[in-house]
Amino acid sequence: MTLRLQEAVTAPPTVCRLTGLTGALLLASLALLALGASVGSTGLDALWRLGQDDVAWQIVWDIRLPRSLGAWLAGALLGLAGAVAQGVFRNPLADPFLLGSASGASLGVALLLTVLGGSPFASAWVFRLGLTGAAFAGAVLAVLLTLVLAAGVQQTLRLLLAGVIVGVVLGACTSLVTLMNPDTLQAMQAFTLGSTGFVGWNATGVMAVVALLCVAVAVGLSRVLDGLTLGETTALSLGLRLAPMRAALIGVLALATGTAVAQTGLIAFVGLAAPHLVRSLVNTTHARLLPLSALAGGALLLGADVLARAVLAPQELPVGVLTAVLGGSYLLWLMYRGQSRLGRGA
């Protein structure tokens, strides 16, 4: 009776907080989408001339809207991947690039730029299709290599170490390829700093389909992540089939990360900060944490993208630089707040 009474007392505030956070993230995303459609190198001129000027309509519809929506979807994929990684590895510092996907994507792009960068007929195809395919293939192959070195997904620590090793080795290979071909330095710099400037409607559609699929699978397997928070032994005692379910979650992590990286390059801290932001506001199970992390990641990256366009307009800052500064500052603030609370408790 006492337990039921306690649940009855504590449940309404939790439900209200979850509903409020979900609504706030959705409203923030919609507001940022509207702002993203309004901000560009021409300021707000294109928005005011929509009904009079076909060029203004083309700027908003063909450039700003897909870019803004694509930035939100890429952030959502990274936020979801970060929540999955932190749950699978039971490590709050885990991020989507933990299995070497970032280094693999960079190596794929560097190799493709080396092969096709000298062709005057290749540049348009490279930036619209080639770089996307090379980055995605490199990210997926890096994750597969990590799984091979770790001999599967049974041992979390071995998988984590294999991911770190693969990331270091492939990162060194990328640096070697870039040094041997200095002409690729500028393009590689744009990729490693992250950019949403090349995202169009086709890329947005691909990310939307992948995001829906990944969220559905991850939420369906959320009980595994809840069980892992109690330890592998406890999760096994609950009847969870850890090996195949963990493999499926690793697949979600690889697919979400590879898709986002392929379209926007390497954007740091979104996947790490989004789950922490949600946990700092509400304490809930992974069934709700995962979609909330996706919403938070989308809002974070879209907000950074709008700032990147507006701060030095008509020039743009690399969005990856802003996410690193803002996300790193937020995590440092969380650490400082946690230490302050610990000191007061002592």
Give the alpha-carbon dihedral of 218, 103, 305, 201, to 10 degrees: -70
**CB distance 284 to 18 below 8 Å:** yes
CATH for 192: 1.10.3470.10
What is the token pair recorded at 235?
């999760």
pTM score over 0.75: yes
- The alpha carbon dihedral of 214, 220, 224, 227 has a sign of positive
From residue 73, alpha-carbon distances to 76, 116, 260, 294, 299 in Å are: 5, 29, 8, 9, 9
CA–CA distance, 326 with 328 (Å, rounded to integer): 6
pLDDT tens sequence across 59-97: 777 888 899 999 999 999 999 999 999 988 888 888 888
Task: Please list, in sequence order, all residues whose beta carbon lies within 8 angstroms of the beta carbon of residue 151, skipping any fewer than 6 positions away.
Answer: 158
In a domain, 159, yes or no: yes
CA–CA distance from 54 to each of 35, 62, 69, 268 (Å)? 20, 11, 21, 37
Mean pLDDT across 277-291: 90
Residue 344 located in a structural domain: no
* 301 domain residue, yes or no: yes
Q: Is the pLDDT of residue 23 over 80?
A: yes
Least reliable range by pLDDT among 106-110, 207-211, 281-285, 332-336: 332-336
Residue 129 is predicted with a pLDDT of 60
Phi, psi angles (nearest 5°) of residue 51: -80, -5
**Confidence band, pLDDT 50/70/90 cuts, at residue 42:** low
Domain assignment of residue 142, yes or no: yes
> Between 65-89 and 2-38, two packed helices, what is the crossing angle to 10 degrees?
150
Q: Is the pLDDT of residue 238 over 70?
A: no
pLDDT for residue 275: 92
Residue 341 domain flag: no
Domain assignment of residue 253, yes or no: yes
Phi and psi (nearest 5°) for 268? Answer: -90, 160
Domain count, the chain: 1
The letter for the amino acid at 257 is T
Q: How much is the pLDDT for 143?
A: 87
The span from the CA of 260 to the CA of 265, in Å, is 7
Residue 37's pLDDT is 81
Angle at 20 between CA 15 and CA 21, to 5 degrees: 100
Host domain of residue 52: 17-336
Residue 342 lies in a domain: no
Q: Looking at the domain assignment, is residue 70 inside a domain?
A: yes
